């Protein structure tokens, strides 16, 4: 009887194990599939500009200036980056002589972009608002007409005035892509 109980117990345990195995197989049978989006990249642009008069005295270097003198100069702004931009310009000076500070008899300038006058007045106050778009690889030319008014008197003798024109590029607005 003991042998029979042992055999019955073993048979019952085997059936339970077989049932669990059959049940486990039925619940873990799944189909799977995968899909990818490989090689995605973001690369930011390079904003870079230059001009054809980058060194000291390249734009203008005049000595023995007398009232009534004029000077015509041009500078070409180049977009050497890979994104479009607009740019503005401002002027500054480290010295402050009458050539700079006297806005009537001191240095004057008219700035043109093509045939369009974008500024006229005292050099000291020159500020150019944003240009049109300069595409990557594109250029823009500004023409400067400097003048020393005929009305300047003896107090303007033996003066030297330095100045720097700074061009500032601004990227175009971002876009939905």
Strand order in the sheet with 127-128: 127-128, 85-92, 164-171
pLDDT at residue 176, as a whole number: 86
- pLDDT for position 174: 87
CATH architecture of 49-154+161-171: Sandwich (2.60)
Indicate the pLDDT class of residue 10, thresholds 50, 70 and 90. low
Residue 24 scores a pLDDT above 60: no
Q: What is the mean pLDDT of residues 90-106?
A: 96
- Residue 112's φ and ψ, nearest 5 degrees, are -125, 145
- Kindly report the pTM of this predicted structure: 0.78
Does residue 26 register a pLDDT over 80? no
What is the residue extent of each domain of the chain? Answer: 49-154+161-171
């Amino acid at each position: 009887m003991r042998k029979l109980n042992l055999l019955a117990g073993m048979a019952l345990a085997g059936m339970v194990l077989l049932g669990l195995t059959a049940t486990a197989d039925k619940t873990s049978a799944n189909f799977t599939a995968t899909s990818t989006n490989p090689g995605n990249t973001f690369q930011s642009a390079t904003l870079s500009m230059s001009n054809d008069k980058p060194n000291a005295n390249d734009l203008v270097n005049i000595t023995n200036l007398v009232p009534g003198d004029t000077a015509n100069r041009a500078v070409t702004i180049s977009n050497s980056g890979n994104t479009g931009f607009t740019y503005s310009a401002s002027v500054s000076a480290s010295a402050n002589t009458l050539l700079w500070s006297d806005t009537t008899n001191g240095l004057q300038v008219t700035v043109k972009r093509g045939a369009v006058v974008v500024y006229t007045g005292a050099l000291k106050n020159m500020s150019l608002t944003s240009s049109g778009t300069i595409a990557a690889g594109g250029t823009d030319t500004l023409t400067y007409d400097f003048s020393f008014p005929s009305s300047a008197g003896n107090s303007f003798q033996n003066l030297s005035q330095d100045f720097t024109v700074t061009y500032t590029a601004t990227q175009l607005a971002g876009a939905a892509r």
